[in-house]
Amino acid sequence: MPNGQEKAIDVDKLLKNKLKAVSVGSLENAISKVVSEMVGEDYKCSIGEVKYTLFSGADFHVKIELSYSPEK
């Protein structure tokens, strides 16, 4: 760094994956809501198997499809 100070990496924070505390259902609902608002139609979201990665990440498959409701 130009000023001679190096910022230490907080390894504990990096390795503690906070995504594990987020429910898959909450993610599905939030994604559905955002997509529905963007498109103007009701969409549903389903998330496949979640694989949590090192360094606070996650890999998963997201499926978004039009939600069919005969009442509407």
CA distance 19 to 17: 5
Phi, psi of 10 (to 5 degrees): -85, 95
Coil, strand, or helix at residue 58? Answer: strand
Q: What is the pTM of this model?
A: 0.71
Query: Beta 51-53 vs 57-59: how paired, if at all?
Result: antiparallel
Structure token pair of residue 50: 């979640």
Query: What residue ranges of the chain have pLDDT lower than 70?
Result: 1-4, 69-72
Phi, psi of 69 (to 5 degrees): -130, 110
CA distance 51 to 68: 30
Quick: pLDDT tens for 20-36: 899 999 999 999 999 99
Domain ranges of the chain: 11-66
